[in-house]
Amino acid sequence: MRVCPYHVFDLRALAAADKAGMSWRGRLKARLHGNRQAFVARPDDCHACGKCVAACPEDAIRLA
């Protein structure tokens, strides 16, 4: 969220439906992160600059 110049991401609490499809490792990580996660809220605003890819400590973002 901090590196995106176009405010593509929002941070929000994970709902039960979000966690239902997560692995136990994912649920553990979510708990360690305060049960919050960044979501792509405005995908049409993305300019594919790659800053979020380089900054993500979990290597969880891919540009498609």
The most distant pair of C-alpha atoms in the chain lies apart, rounded to whole Å, by: 33
Binding flags for ligand SF4, 2-41, as an x/- string (CB under 6 A):
-xx-x-x---------------------------------
Which H helix or E strand runs over 55?
Answer: helix 51-55
What are the structure tokens assigned to 21, written together?
């499809």
- Beta carbon nearer to ligand SF4, 14 or 52: 52
- Region class of 48: left (phi > 0), else alpha (psi between -120 and 50), else beta: left
Smallest distance from ligand SF4 to CB 53, Å: 6
Number of residues that bind ligand SF4 (CB under 6 A): 12
Please give the residue ranges that form the binding site for ligand SF4 (CB under 6 A): 3-4, 6, 8, 46-52, 63
